[in-house]
């Protein structure tokens, strides 16, 4: 809509009157007057267009959760204002909810009414929320107050947990990098004994505490820490004063204490904390610097505001598709140099670390001049050294050229190869440096070796082979001297080497004068051959075991199948009483159960081999699980008509005992061990017990009074398809039960052991990681 002011209306009226007068009085001058008229019309149009453009303002509201003097909020707001300047026709309205001090439902309702009255006549085009309370306010009342306008957020914790429309809501995550900060603390305080984590009961404080606990896994489970949830200054002071100062540090997540009905900025609590416990303090926000925190992986309000302003600008200019739903938080690793020195901490040296309050030294002040001058000096010194080296090398090369020429021609290229040169007339031997390193004689020089010494290096069992190879070469039977021999190194150990050489000079009596060759370290090759041989033996053994397994399996399957078919045929073809039929049906049922157990074992071992079994931890009552196992075990003992007492010993006297692990796999392992114990125990007792090693480990044991296991069989019983030999005691089975149990225990992250003596029984124990839980809250004991 075009709006004309008084000046423009008067000007237009004047032009119309002037045109009329000129048309009536002097048509001759009409053309000149028309030019004047067009000029004035253009001026009028420019005025009107300028006012029209001036009227097209883009109204954006910035809603801050906190108060105006909070540095985080100040930096964030100023950055947004710079990104959406007034010269680009952005009109910004800035609101402060002041929720650090006032955050009740009546106050929120009052703020809502205030916003409605203030902005009901303004065409709001976009909203920028800073921090959680403002975001929650807009999610609750935004559509009612402003309609479905685009919203950009920043400084919001746990934004990924919000259920929001990602096409309307975009912004910057406020993720504090706790893991990096913990690494920094361990770097500058390697002797840290305990980390004191301070938070409060505000929304941000609770969120940051949860993030801290999540950040501990898996790299910082060793960290000794204690979290203090500060509610009052006195409570915080009492708890901090109880800690010793030596090798301690504070990690400050949030601290807004109630002081006469309101809280003050965290930076103002610096002296209070230091009076209570004077130790290094770390944090994740830049507004904590200033004679307070030592450092950390820091975020700042300026970065948040810049990214939020850029996102809103793109959205309002039709480039919303270029704005992602969530932009990562820019992180900066910063240290206060004064605080590092104050607490005598290690100064980190990584290039990605920044320092504040670092004194400017002479080098920094004249860095450019020093670097240029130093570079020139280094260049000149290097040039002089190179020239001196060249001259020196030239003299050395001229001196050794004739003696080294033959050796260089005969030396073989390649790594792990050494050169040797024997002078039979002088009874000396030359070993180059590489060969000397093979044998460990790095400090020896050429004149230190003689033929007698080298003869003593060879293994006594290889001397005859060496003599034979040498004679055959000298006699002309073989063109070269070749062999694989063991040589003693400087530490007394023998290593395998491949030796190749030939006699290069003979005297007039046709006796060898000089012999040159190479020596190659083949220890790795020999080890590989040994491993290959062992692998072949293992493969043959595995093939034998599988063949035995298949033979046993065919027997195990055929036995119940023959029973099922035979008894079924009897029932179908012969007339019998109900009692006799029931007897045969029970036999069929028993055979079917045996066959089903066999199939289940085969399926389980197949799943384990293919990696299809997954561990699914959950919280469950261990005592209820043990009661079920006890009932099944006693039923199985009764069905087998064995005189065995089954006993369960609990490591906790409570009625219910909750742990976090995979109950199904634990139950399967215990069933396998109990079933195994019942198989090999005719009378006596079987005891199932557990006890807690610590809050993160539990040990189960199944002890029986059965036939026991010989020591030589204990190393193979956990292998697949293997069963221990028990003399004339034979039991049916595939040899998979213990193998399955071992694999399941290792999948859970534990270990399984056996202790046994023949005719004295066996004890199978397995230890697995778990978390002990309380019955109701799930909090660790």
CA atoms within 13 A on the CB side of 672: 29
Query: Can you give the pLDDT at residue 735?
Result: 67
Give per-residue pLDDT as tens, 261-315.
677 778 888 889 989 999 999 999 898 998 899 999 999 999 999 999 999 999 9
Q: 37-54 burial string, b = 16+ CB within 10 Å, else e?
A: beeeeeebeeebeeeeee
Residue 273 and residue 352 in one domain? yes
Rounded alpha-carbon distances, angstroms, from residue 370 to 89, 340, 351, 375, 530: 50, 28, 20, 8, 61
Residue 553 and residue 595 in one domain? yes
Give per-residue pLDDT as tens, 503-538.
988 888 888 889 988 888 888 888 888 888 888 888
Residue 584 and residue 497 in one domain? no
Contact 208, 200 (CB under 8 A): no
641-646: which pairs have CB atoms within 8 A and are 24 or more residues apart?
A: 642/678, 642/681, 642/682, 642/683, 643/682, 643/683, 644/678, 644/681, 644/682, 644/683, 644/684, 644/685, 644/686, 645/684, 645/685, 645/686, 646/685, 646/686, 646/688
Distance, in Å, from the CA atom of 682 to the CA atom of 640, rounded to the nearest integer, reads 10
How does DSSP classify residue 518?
E
In this predicted model, which residue has the larger pLDDT, 226 or 5?
226
Distance, in Å, from the CA atom of 648 to the CA atom of 646, rounded to the nearest integer, reads 7
In a domain, 377, yes or no: no
Instruction: From 173, 208, 225, give the residue that closes a domain.
Output: 173
Contact 298, 285 (CB under 8 A): yes
Average pLDDT over residues 3-17: 47
Domain with residue 675: its CATH number is: 3.30.565.10
First and final CA of the chain: distance in angstroms?
A: 72
Give per-residue pLDDT as tens, 179-236.
999 999 999 999 999 999 999 888 788 888 999 999 998 889 999 999 999 988 999 9
Sheet holding 194-200, edge to edge: 225-230, 194-200, 248-252, 281-282, 295-298, 332-336, 353-356
In a domain, 403, yes or no: no
Query: Residue 769 above 60 pLDDT?
Result: yes
Interhelix angle 105-119/132-146, nearest 10 degrees:
50
Residue 570 and residue 618 in one domain? no
Provide the mean pLDDT of the chain: 83
Residue 187 and residue 228 in one domain? yes
Average pLDDT over residues 733-757: 87
Average pLDDT over residues 681-692: 93
CB atoms within 10 A of CB 33: 16
Distance, in Å, from the CA atom of 248 to the CA atom of 278, rounded to the nearest integer, reads 9
CA atoms within 13 A on the CB side of 57: 16
Helices then strands (H, E): number in the chain? 21, 26
Phi, psi dihedral angles at 234 (to 5 degrees): -65, -45
Residue 344: left if φ>0, alpha if ψ -120 to 50, beta else—which one?
Answer: left
Task: Band the pLDDT of 398: cuts 50, 70, 90.
Answer: confident
Q: What is the largest CA-CA distance in the chain?
A: 145
Look at the chain and report how many structural domains it folds into.
6
In this predicted model, which residue has the larger pLDDT, 23 or 373?
373
CB atoms within 10 A of CB 454: 16
Q: Where are the alpha helices (DSSP H) in 125-225?
A: 132-146, 178-188, 203-215
What 3-state DSSP class applies to 503? Answer: strand
In the chain, what are the helix, strand and coil shares in percent, each to the nearest 5? Answer: 50, 20, 30
Contact 101, 92 (CB under 8 A): no
Distance, in Å, from the CA atom of 345 to the CA atom of 342, rounded to the nearest integer, reads 8
Contact 316, 126 (CB under 8 A): yes
Average pLDDT over residues 105-123: 93
For the ranges 163-172, 449-458, 631-640, which has the lowest average pLDDT?
A: 449-458
For the ranges 72-81, 277-286, 632-641, which has the lowest average pLDDT?
A: 632-641
Domain with residue 102: its CATH number is: 3.40.50.2300
Instruction: From 452, 487, 521, give the residue that closes a domain.
Output: 521
Interhelix angle 301-316/71-83, nearest 10 degrees:
30
How many residues belong to the chain?
781
Residue 223 and residue 340 in one domain? yes
Task: Band the pLDDT of 133: cuts 50, 70, 90.
Answer: very high
Query: Can you give the pLDDT at residue 24?
Result: 41
For the ranges 209-223, 393-407, 465-479, which has the lowest average pLDDT?
A: 393-407
Phi, psi dihedral angles at 628 (to 5 degrees): -65, -40
pTM over 0.75: no
Distance, in Å, from the CA atom of 294 to the CA atom of 345, rounded to the nearest integer, reads 9
Task: Provide, rounded to the nearest whole percent, the portion of the chain with pLDDT above 90.
Answer: 41
Residue 758 and residue 651 in one domain? yes
Phi, psi dihedral angles at 94 (to 5 degrees): -115, 125
**Do strands 512-521 and 417-423 pair parallel, antiparallel, or not at all (unpaired)?**
antiparallel
Rounded alpha-carbon distances, angstroms, from residue 731 to 468, 552, 756: 60, 12, 18
In a domain, 121, yes or no: yes
Distance, in Å, from the CA atom of 12 to the CA atom of 24, rounded to the nearest integer, reads 19
The token duo for 178 is: 């706790």
How does DSSP classify residue 356?
E
In a domain, 133, yes or no: yes
Query: Can you give the pLDDT at residue 552?
Result: 64
Query: Can you give the pLDDT at residue 315?
Result: 95
Query: Can you give the pLDDT at residue 522?
Result: 84
In a domain, 368, yes or no: no
The token duo for 159 is: 């934004």
What 3-state DSSP class applies to 72? Answer: helix
Query: Can you give the pLDDT at residue 729?
Result: 45
- Measured CA angle at 625 (ends 623, 627), to 5 deg: 70
Residue 735 and residue 651 in one domain? yes
Average pLDDT over residues 143-160: 91
Residue 41 and residue 74 in one domain? no
Distance, in Å, from the CA atom of 63 to the CA atom of 146, rounded to the nearest integer, reads 13
Average pLDDT over residues 39-44: 50
**Do strands 332-336 and 353-356 pair parallel, antiparallel, or not at all (unpaired)?**
parallel
Sheet holding 417-423, edge to edge: 428-431, 417-423, 512-521, 494-506, 481-488
Give per-residue pLDDT as tens, 357-367.
988 777 766 77
**Do strands 194-200 and 225-230 pair parallel, antiparallel, or not at all (unpaired)?**
parallel
The H or E element that residue 473 is part of is helix 463-474
Of 680, 660, 682, 672, nearest in space to 748 by CA: 660
Average pLDDT over residues 487-511: 86
Phi, psi dihedral angles at 627 (to 5 degrees): -65, -40
Contact 247, 189 (CB under 8 A): yes
Task: Band the pLDDT of 545: cuts 50, 70, 90.
Answer: low
DSSP 2-31: ----HHHHHHHHHHHHHHHHHHHH-STTHH
| Strand stretches in 447-581, DSSP E | 481-488, 494-506, 512-521
How does DSSP classify residue 285?
B
Residue 19 and residue 109 in one domain? no
Task: Band the pLDDT of 579: cuts 50, 70, 90.
Answer: confident
Rounded alpha-carbon distances, angstroms, from residue 198 to 19, 259, 283, 779: 82, 17, 10, 20
Task: Band the pLDDT of 753: cuts 50, 70, 90.
Answer: very high
Domain with residue 503: its CATH number is: 3.30.450.20
Residue 595 and residue 666 in one domain? no
In this predicted model, which residue has the larger pLDDT, 197 or 394?
197
In a domain, 325, yes or no: no
Distance, in Å, from the CA atom of 502 to the CA atom of 423, rounded to the nearest integer, reads 13
Q: Which domain holds residue 18?
A: 6-55
In a domain, 221, yes or no: yes
Query: Residue 727 above 60 pLDDT?
Result: no
In a domain, 387, yes or no: no
Give per-residue pLDDT as tens, 232-259.
899 999 999 999 999 999 999 988 887 7
Residue 225 and residue 346 in one domain? yes
Task: Band the pLDDT of 551: cuts 50, 70, 90.
Answer: low
Instruction: From 521, 543, 558, give the residue that closes a domain.
Output: 521
Its sign, for the CA torsion 97, 98, 99, 101, is: negative
CB atoms within 10 A of CB 19: 15
């Amino acid at each position: 809509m075009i709006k004309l002011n008084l000046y423009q209306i008067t000007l237009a009226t004047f032009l119309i009157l002037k045109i009329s007068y000129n048309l009536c009085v002097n048509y001759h001058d009409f053309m000149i007057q028309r030019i004047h008229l067009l000029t004035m019309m253009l001026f009028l149009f420019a005025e009107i267009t300028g006012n029209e453009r001036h009227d097209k303002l883009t109204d954006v509201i910035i809603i801050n959760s906190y108060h105006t003097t909070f540095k985080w909020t100040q930096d964030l707001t100023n950055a947004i204002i710079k990104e959406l300047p007034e010269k680009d026709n952005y009109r910004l309205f800035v609101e402060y909810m002041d929720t650090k001090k006032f955050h009740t439902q009546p106050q929120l309702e009052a703020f809502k009414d205030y916003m409605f009255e203030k902005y009901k006549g303004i065409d709001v085009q976009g909203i920028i929320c800073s921090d959680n309370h403002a975001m929650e306010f807009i999610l609750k009342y935004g559509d009612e107050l402003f309609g479905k306008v685009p919203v950009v957020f920043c400084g919001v914790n746990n934004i990924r947990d919000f259920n929001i429309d990602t096409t309307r809501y975009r912004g910057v995550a406020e993720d504090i990098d706790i893991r990096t900060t913990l690494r920094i603390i361990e770097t500058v305080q390697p002797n840290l004994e305990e980390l004191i984590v301070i938070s409060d009961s505000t929304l941000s404080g609770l969120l940051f505490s949860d993030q801290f606990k999540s950040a501990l896994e898996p790299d910082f489970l060793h960290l000794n820490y204690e979290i203090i949830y500060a509610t009052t200054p006195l409570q915080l002071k009492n708890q901090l004063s109880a800690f010793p100062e030596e090798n301690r540090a504070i990690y400050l997540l949030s601290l807004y204490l109630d002081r006469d009905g309101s809280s003050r900025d965290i930076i103002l609590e610096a002296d209070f904390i230091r009076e209570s416990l004077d130790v290094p303090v770390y944090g994740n926000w830049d507004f904590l610097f200033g004679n307070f925190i030592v450092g950390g992986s820091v975020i700042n309000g300026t970065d948040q505001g810049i990214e939020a302003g850029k996102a809103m600008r793109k959205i309002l200019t039709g480039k919303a598709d270029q704005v992602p739903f969530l932009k990562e938080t820019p992180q900066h690793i910063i240290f206060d140099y004064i605080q590092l020195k104050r607490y005598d901490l290690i100064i980190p040296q990584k290039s990605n670390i920044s320092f504040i309050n670092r004194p400017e030294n002479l080098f920094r002040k004249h860095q450019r001049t020093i670097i240029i001058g130093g570079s020139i000096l280094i260049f000149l010194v290097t040039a002089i050294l190179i020239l001196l080296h060249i001259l020196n090398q030239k003299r050395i090369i001229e001196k050794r050229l004739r003696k080294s020429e033959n050796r260089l021609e005969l030396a073989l290229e390649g790594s792990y190869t050494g050169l040797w040169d024997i002078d039979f007339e002088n009874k000396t031997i030359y070993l180059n440096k590489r060969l000397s390193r093979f044998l460990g004689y790095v400090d020896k020089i050429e004149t230190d070796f003689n033929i007698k010494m080298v003869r003593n290096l060879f293994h006594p069992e290889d001397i005859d082979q060496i003599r034979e190879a040498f004679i055959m070469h000298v006699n002309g039977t073989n063109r070269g001297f070749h062999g694989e021999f063991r040589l003693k190194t400087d530490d007394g150990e023998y290593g395998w080497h491949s030796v190749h050489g030939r006699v290069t000079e003979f005297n007039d009596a046709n006796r060898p004068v000089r012999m040159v060759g190479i020596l190659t370290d083949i220890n790795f090759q020999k080890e590989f051959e040994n491993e290959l041989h062992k692998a072949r033996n293992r493969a043959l053994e595995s093939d034998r075991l599988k063949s035995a397994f298949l033979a046993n399996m065919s027997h195990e399957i055929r036995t119940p199948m023959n029973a099922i078919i035979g008894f079924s045929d009897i029932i179908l073809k012969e007339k019998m009483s109900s009692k006799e039929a029931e007897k045969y049906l029970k036999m069929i049922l028993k055979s079917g159960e045996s066959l089903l157990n066999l199939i289940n074992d085969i399926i389980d071992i197949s799943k384990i081999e293919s990696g299809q079994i997954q561990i699914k931890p959950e919280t469950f009552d261990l005592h209820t699980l043990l009661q079920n196992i006890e009932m099944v075990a006693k039923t199985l003992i009764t069905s087998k008509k064995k005189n065995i007492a089954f006993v369960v010993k609990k490591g906790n006297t409570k009625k219910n005992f909750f742990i976090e692990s995979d109950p199904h796999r634990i139950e399967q392992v215990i069933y396998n061990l109990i079933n195994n114990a019942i198989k090999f125990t005719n009378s006596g007792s079987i005891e199932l017990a557990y006890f807690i090693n610590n809050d993160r480990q539990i040990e189960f044991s199944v002890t029986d009074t059965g036939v026991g296991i010989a020591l030589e069989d204990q190393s193979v019983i956990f292998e697949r398809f293997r069963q221990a030999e028990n003399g004339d005691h034979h039991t049916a089975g595939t040899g998979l039960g213990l193998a399955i149990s071992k694999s399941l225990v290792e999948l859970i992250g534990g270990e399984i052991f056996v202790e046994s003596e023949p005719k004295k029984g066996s004890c199978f124990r397995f230890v697995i990681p778990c978390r002990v839980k309380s019955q109701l809250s799930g909090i660790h004991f």
